[in-house]
């Protein structure tokens, strides 16, 4: 079976395809139900001082204001996650420029209207939706590469960035999902297949332009508002203002790139996960990998996959100790060279698609990708799991079918280390700098699976892994997480609160898990 046939087989089972983490690869998965029982986005604000004159705002914008009466409204309000389809904004501003964003902020502030910033619309918590004004920057999506840097509009989608920069011979490390927006990704960190070599997306951020709560447009850089730049390097989207553009430092496209995928029988799951964790410290920063425990109803599989900046021969030698440590033979093994752009399309779940096809139809008329209904939890491991921890992970995944017979579930361990951990925890707002792996537990549902059952599995899996893990990734934002301030931001929380109080003292940019203006709030 060649790689293409294999990908088709795995996709048919509902498993993640390619070598990216489950949600990154599941951008193309179809989900069919829209649960009515799920929580709605809890964005709040002071009550309006009087009815907002939306026509006045519409008339002041270069972009469009979409109101509930517009035929475009039902489509324009949707996020990637179908869970939030029941939330109805009062208006959606499709901003065309930083000035439009400023006008929206001024209007909302003076009328007491709640706002939510939206870029790619992939917030796990639905925090880019509000019943007030959605300030959407998706059409501010220009991508302008220079020799070793690029200015990127806050609404650009990852696949467009990889395509434009890749054709200019340049790499920005970032996530796999093609339709994630650069703003949410960068502001919360940005985990991807080149991060062990080049750092997180936010580590490559040099400056950004951002509209603050008072309507001013400022540049945050090492020279100007350095605390704000620090906070925007992992302090989370939606907290400090609305970013309108970013400037990143970039890296040259690697001369050699290789991909791999190795599957083993489920009976070897704890052996594989244990061997993978023991193998991680010895591999070079050029090698990123993950270990995925995947369930589609009663079908279970364990897979290690990854991306290597180097030749397939060298990659084969690096994999040999892992494979010999596992014991049972793989049921599938692929190791091979790939071009940079093909690799990014494969990681995106878009192998064989054109750039236009690798989008949602709402973003591009040629788009063939679908939205999804899912929930997720995350954590980190700072050392290899004990035998009890390995068994807890495998048992948690295998228990999925007891909660819902057709549940699509995954526990994915993404390798950290390398350039990610070379940065001090206090050097940027992204504090998780001592992990060997980040964990993402995900449940997706469609017809035949009740969302509540999927959520019960997710809680049980997170509880089972709790004794062995720490923290949570702020970009996998989790509305059900109790201790979220410390889990996302740890020792950086106090400084983030100070920055918030200085740039947004009235807590204008507020949602259920936004940074507060004081620690007592």
CB-based contact 260:319 (threshold 8 Å): yes
Q: Rank residues 101 and 401 by Cβ distance to ligand FAD and give the closer one.
A: 101
Q: Rank residues 134 and 275 by Cβ distance to ligand FAD and give the closer one.
A: 134
Q: Rank residues 45 and 270 by Cβ distance to ligand FAD and give the closer one.
A: 45
Per-residue tokens: 500? 């918030």
Q: Rank residues 213 and 287 by Cβ distance to ligand FAD and give the closer one.
A: 213
d(CA 123, CA 118): 9
The least distance separating ligand FAD from the CB of residue 316, rounded to whole angstroms, comes to: 26
The least distance separating ligand FAD from the CB of residue 104, rounded to whole angstroms, comes to: 12
> CA of 138: how far to CAs of 52, 76, 232, 305, 499, in Å?
24, 11, 19, 32, 26
The least distance separating ligand FAD from the CB of residue 160, rounded to whole angstroms, comes to: 13
- Given the DSSP bridges, would you call strands 133-136 and 115-118 parallel, antiparallel or unpaired? parallel
The least distance separating ligand FAD from the CB of residue 173, rounded to whole angstroms, comes to: 10
β-sheet bridge partners, residue 294: 301, 410
Query: What is the contact surface with ligand FAD in residues (CB under 6 A)?
Result: 21, 23-24, 27, 80, 116-124, 127-128, 137, 154, 175-177, 180-181, 183-185, 187-192, 237-238, 242-243, 475
Output the 3-class SS for 346-387: HHCCCCCCCCCCCCCCCCCCCCCCCCECEEEEEEEECCCCCH
Please enumerate in sequence order all residues whose Cβ is within 8 A of that of 391, keeping only pairs 6 or more positions apart, or say none: 270
The least distance separating ligand FAD from the CB of residue 413, rounded to whole angstroms, comes to: 14
Q: Rank residues 175 and 400 by Cβ distance to ligand FAD and give the closer one.
A: 175
The least distance separating ligand FAD from the CB of residue 62, rounded to whole angstroms, comes to: 17
Q: Is 47 exposed, middle or buried (0-12, 13-18, 19+ CB in 10 A)?
A: exposed
**What is the SS3 assignment for 178?**
coil
Q: Rank residues 18 and 389 by Cβ distance to ligand FAD and give the closer one.
A: 18
The least distance separating ligand FAD from the CB of residue 207, rounded to whole angstroms, comes to: 14
Please enumerate in sequence order all residues whose Cβ is within 8 A of that of 261, keeping only pairs 6 or more positions apart, or say none: 3, 6, 18, 19, 303, 304, 305, 332, 333, 334
d(CA 253, CA 256): 9
Closest by CA position to 291, among listed 438, 474, 463, 444: 438
Phi, psi of 266, deg, nearest 5:
-55, -30
The least distance separating ligand FAD from the CB of residue 190, rounded to whole angstroms, comes to: 5
Q: Rank residues 25 and 461 by Cβ distance to ligand FAD and give the closer one.
A: 25
Question: Percent helix, strand and coil across the chain, each rounded to 5?
Answer: 35, 20, 45
Q: Rank residues 274 and 479 by Cβ distance to ligand FAD and give the closer one.
A: 479
């Amino acid at each position: 079976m060649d790689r293409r046939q294999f990908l088709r087989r795995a996709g048919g089972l509902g498993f993640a395809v390619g070598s990216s983490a489950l949600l990154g690869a599941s951008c193309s998965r179809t989900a069919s139900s829209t649960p009515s029982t799920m929580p709605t986005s809890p964005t709040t604000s002071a009550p309006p001082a009087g009815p907002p004159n939306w026509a006045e705002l519409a008339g002041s914008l270069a972009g469009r204001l979409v109101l509930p009466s517009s035929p475009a409204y039902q489509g324009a309000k949707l996020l990637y996650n179908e869970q939030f389809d029941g939330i109805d904004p009062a208006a959606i501003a499709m901003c065309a420029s930083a000035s439009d964003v400023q006008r929206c902020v001024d209007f909302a502030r003076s009328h007491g209207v709640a706002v939510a910033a939206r870029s790619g619309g992939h917030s796990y918590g639905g925090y880019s939706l509000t019943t007030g004004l959605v300030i959407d920057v998706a059409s501010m999506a220009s991508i302008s590469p220079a020799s070793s840097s690029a200015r990127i509009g806050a609404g650009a989608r990852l696949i467009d960035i990889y395509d434009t920069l890749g054709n200019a011979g340049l790499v920005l490390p970032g996530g796999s999902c093609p339709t994630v927006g650069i703003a949410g990704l960068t502001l919360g960190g940005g985990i991807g297949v080149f991060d062990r070599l080049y750092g997180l997306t936010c580590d490559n951020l040099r400056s950004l332009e951002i509209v603050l709560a008072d309507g001013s447009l400022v540049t945050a850089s090492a020279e100007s508002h350095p605390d704000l730049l620090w906070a925007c390097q992992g302090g989370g989207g939606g907290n400090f203002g609305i970013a309108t553009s970013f400037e990143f430092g970039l890296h040259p496209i690697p001369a050699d790139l290789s991909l791999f995928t190795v599957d083993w029988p489920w009976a070897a799951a704890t052996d594989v996960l244990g061997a993978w964790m023991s193998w991680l410290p010895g591999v070079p920063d050029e090698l990123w990998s993950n270990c995925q425990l995947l369930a589609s109803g009663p079908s279970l599989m364990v897979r290690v996959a990854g991306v290597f900046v180097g030749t397939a021969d060298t990659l084969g030698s690096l994999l040999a100790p892992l494979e010999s440590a596992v014991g049972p033979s793989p049921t599938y093994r692929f190791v091979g060279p790939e071009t940079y752009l093909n690799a990014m399309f494969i990681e995106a779940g878009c192998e064989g698609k054109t750039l236009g096809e690798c989008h949602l139809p709402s973003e591009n008329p040629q788009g063939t990708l679908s939205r999804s209904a899912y929930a997720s939890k995350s954590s980190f491991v700072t050392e290899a799991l004990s035998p009890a921890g390995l068994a807890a992970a495998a048992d948690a995944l295998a228990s999925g079918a007891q909660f819902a017979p057709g549940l699509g579930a995954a526990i994915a361990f993404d390798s950290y280390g390398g350039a990610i951990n070379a940065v001090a925890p206090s050097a940027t707002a992204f504090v998780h700098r001592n992990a060997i792996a980040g964990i993402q537990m995900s449940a997706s549902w469609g017809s035949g699976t009740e969302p509540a059952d999927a959520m019960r599995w997710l809680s049980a899996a997170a509880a089972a892994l709790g004794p062995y893990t720490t923290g949570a990734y702020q970009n996998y934002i989790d509305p059900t997480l109790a201790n979220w301030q410390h889990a996302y931001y740890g020792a950086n929380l106090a400084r983030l609160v100070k920055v918030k109080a200085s740039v947004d003292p009235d807590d204008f940019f507020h949602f259920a898990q936004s940074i507060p203006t004081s620690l007592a709030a």
